[in-house]
Amino acid sequence: MQSYRAIAQWGDLPYISWEMDTERNSFKFFHSSGINTYVRTLMAFLGLIFFSLVPADSAFATTTKVRLMLSGEAAKPGDTVTAAISLEMQPHWHSYWKNPGDSGIATRIEWTLPPGVTTGEIQWPIPEKLVTPPLTTYVHSDETVLLVPLKIDSTVAPGPLEIKAKVSWQECADVCIQGRTNLSTRITVGADSKPSADVAFIEAARKKLPQIDPNTLAQAHWENDEETRSAIIEWKVAGSPAQVDFFPYSNDKYEVKGETERLADEGGKVRIRKQVSKTGPDWPTQLNGLLVSRATTNEGYQGTEVAINLSPAKVAAVEAQSSQTTSLVLMLGFAFLGGLILNIMPCVLPVIALKVLGIVNQAKEAPARVRKLGLVYGLGVWVSFLVLAGLAIAVQQAGHLASWSSAFQNPQFRVIITILITLVALNLFGLFEITLSGRAMGAAGELTAKEGTAGAFFNGVLATVLATPCTAPFLGVAIGFAFTQPPAVIFLIFTAVAFGLAAPFVLLCWNPAWLKFLPRPGLWMQRFKVAMGFPMLATAVWLFWLTATRLGKSGVLWLGLFLVILSLAVWIWGEFVQRGTKRAGLAIVVSLLLITGGYVLILENQLHWRSPLTAQKEGIVWEAWSPEVLQKARGEGRPVLVDFTADTCLNCQVNKATSIDIKSTRAKLKEINAVTLIGDFTDENETIARELKRFGRSAIPLVLVYPANKNLPPIVLPPILTPGIVSDALDKAAKTNQLQVTAQDRTSK
């Protein structure tokens, strides 16, 4: 048996829905046909008869609180202000998005405006997806805020203007009720603009809107050509989201079904399958809606508004194959170019001329033998890279990395690769060196000293060994791509690198006269090495941005500090251990202490880098501070912790990391059922500035603890906090309510 909802209206009676048990093959089972429409009409008609017998003042009364706010209390002619309609619902109730889905009615706003004032479209926050099989709806729960731009024409005369709005909405839980209300507010047009007391609330609501990013690279194609078609949608998403989806906009020519099937990620993109049916004569060529994702099922969605062009099924398959082929050819080119550049790196170039001259001297006047030895040298390079390719395959299989994107979706991998690329850049800048052991170099020297084909072959091996500590532009990208591919592609990529490394040597052996064009070793080589450090540093910066921003709000600060400490440690190692002669032992100890301390204190204790951010979720759940939110929380008789902070305030971050957002404080906040509000002063905020001034502060941090008794003033904490200070203040704030309750009990007795 399934539960269904019917909706009816009679005159000014509220919309009511009731639930009916019926067999699964009832009306919604035929969702793709016209049967659904007819049965819904019949259900509504029966409900109409039933509810015409229900008094209009029955128990089905709306409980949603609706407010109209403006971002400014004064504006100049020509200004645009934002109107906000707030619908605050009771727990377990919801209203509907602009596309309600299979049932429900979207909230509507009818404006009555003075001459010269016009409105834009409603800006809707990202909804939640509510699935009650077989129905799928898109809803807003708790408090939702609809934003509407109001344009004041430049010809509007100074003076007060009255803004009126008639709002109608449907709120649903076990029953659905249609609510209506008339709202009004005023704004003064004059010579100056002045923000209202609600501007912070409205700006907080604006952050919940979907992004409008024209650079979002999303693609879609038909998977088949049947009556009900499947559309495959794919796009790039940061991190490793637990859920991804597409929320369609309403369209009278086609319908995107609510069910979503997530497919395996491919090419660094997430992929989903959506079922589409047409209600018009033609199939759509574009899908409009929101691409949404969230890291965990407990979080709200993040979304981007998109208009995705649909490709035919056959075209999409050809494009996908063409894209894969193009990527492989490009990576092979990068691999060859990277191997070629390795020849002018300081670790390889000095030996090239000597080795070519040595082979020429061995062959004396026999050009054919010189060419043969050059080819044997190239064979030595190739065989060495095939061995490296085998090691790469072993590492790939051990790590179970299916793709380059899946590797970058792993938070631990992102931290490690950021650190490694930073170390490579520091190595190119000369802060420290990567060297082979003396025993290994001695063995290599003995093999390469041999004459004939054996010596040429092992010279190729030596060139590969010398090249392995080096890196070069394009090479890292190609090798990274190789690690994500099947074994055959890995061998191809490493073969391309080998050919790039061997090519100059082989060509010189075929024409030794070209040796005169070979650059002579000198100081320029060291400068070239340093210059190559800057592209590598740019890569490190990109990886830092990609990684740190997904390690929490303080990730940029803490990962940046760790990389600075790591840089200091490797500089000490290079300067006093590798190039120094005195106090090398002390330098080793200091370097190891810096690296160990940075790892333990930052990577482990602050970033928790071995646990994905989505698995931590132990931090305080903050709500944006505003006078209205604070007043509401105090009216509920709960203690309130307010932290006025900023990303630019280091003291604020230290307080948060050491005394506020820690396990003991979180436990205390939960114990006393406290509300936590954050006032973000990173950007200029006049409301927060006035609040700071009210407490005699001209700067942050400012941490306040409001007692549960709303008649008592807040406890102002000192700028430098300890866990004990915060705990004591929370205890005092909670006890005031306990004392008040005890006193009331005694009075009643």
664 with 709, same domain? Answer: yes
- Ordered mean pLDDT values, 10 residues apiece, the chain (749 residues): 35 37 33 39 44 42 90 94 95 92 90 94 94 87 95 93 95 84 95 93 93 76 78 86 91 89 84 89 89 84 89 54 65 82 62 51 59 82 84 65 46 78 81 60 46 69 61 59 75 87 78 62 68 76 78 81 93 86 85 92 83 56 91 90 83 85 90 92 85 84 91 91 93 70 42
275 and 331: one domain?
A: no
* Half-sphere exposure (Cβ direction) of 33: Cα atoms closer than 13 Å: 8
Residues 47 and 99 in one domain: no
Question: How do residues 689-704 score in pLDDT, each as one tens digit?
Answer: 889 888 888 778 899 9
Query: Which pair of structure tokens corresponds to residue 137?
Result: 């709806």
- Whether 34 and 18 map to the same domain: the answer is yes
In the numeric block, the tokens 């040796």 are attached to 515
pLDDT digits (tens, 9 = 90+) for 144-174: 999 999 999 999 999 999 999 999 999 988 7
CA proximity to 179, closest of 44, 52, 87, 50: 87
Q: Both 478 and 585 in a single domain?
A: no
Whether 110 is covered by a domain: the verdict is yes
List, in order, residues 6 or more apart from 92 with CB less than 8 Å away: 173
Q: How far apart are CA 605 and CA 612, in angstroms?
A: 14
Residues 148 and 85: their CA atoms lie apart, in Å, by 8
Confidence at residue 462, expressed as pLDDT on a 0 to 100 scale: 65
Give burial (CB, 10 Å; 0-12/13-18/19+) of 694. exposed
Q: Please tell me whether residues 680 and 642 are part of one structural domain.
A: yes
Looking at this protein, which amino acid is placed at residue 451?
A: E
Looking at the structure, tell me whether residues 456 and 478 fall in a common domain. Answer: yes
pTM assigned to the model:
0.42
At residue 689, the pLDDT reads 86
Whether 469 is covered by a domain: the verdict is yes
* In a domain? residue 540: no
Residue with tokens 């596309």: 99
Cα 137 from chain centre:
26
- Which of 591, 615, 639 is where one domain is finished? 615
Does 720 share its domain with 627?
Answer: yes
Asked if the structure places residue 418 within a domain, the reply is: no
Q: Is residue 212 part of a domain?
A: no
The per-residue pLDDT for 618 is: 59
Residue 101 backbone class (left: φ over 0; alpha: ψ -120 to 50; beta: rest): left
Q: Are residues 332 and 382 in the same domain?
A: yes
**How does DSSP assign 96-107, residue by residue?**
EEEEEESS----
Q: What is the pLDDT of residue 190?
A: 93
213 in a structural domain: no
Note whether 336 and 475 are same-domain residues.
yes
Q: How far apart are CA 478 and CA 386, in angstroms?
A: 15
Q: What is the DSSP string of 602-640?
A: IIITTS-TTS-HHHH--S---EE--HHHHHHHHHTT--E
> Is 85 inside a domain boundary?
yes
In this structure, what DSSP letter does residue 123 have? B
- Give me the domain span that covers residue 17: 2-51
| Residue 426 belongs to a domain | no
Residue 232: half-sphere exposure toward Cβ, Cα within 13 Å: 20
Q: 634 and 523 in one domain?
A: no
- In this prediction, residue 676 carries a pLDDT of 94
Give the rounded percent of residues in the chain with a pLDDT score beyond 70.
72
Overall number of domains in the chain: 6
Domain end among 593, 615, 637: 615
- 156 and 73 in a common domain: yes
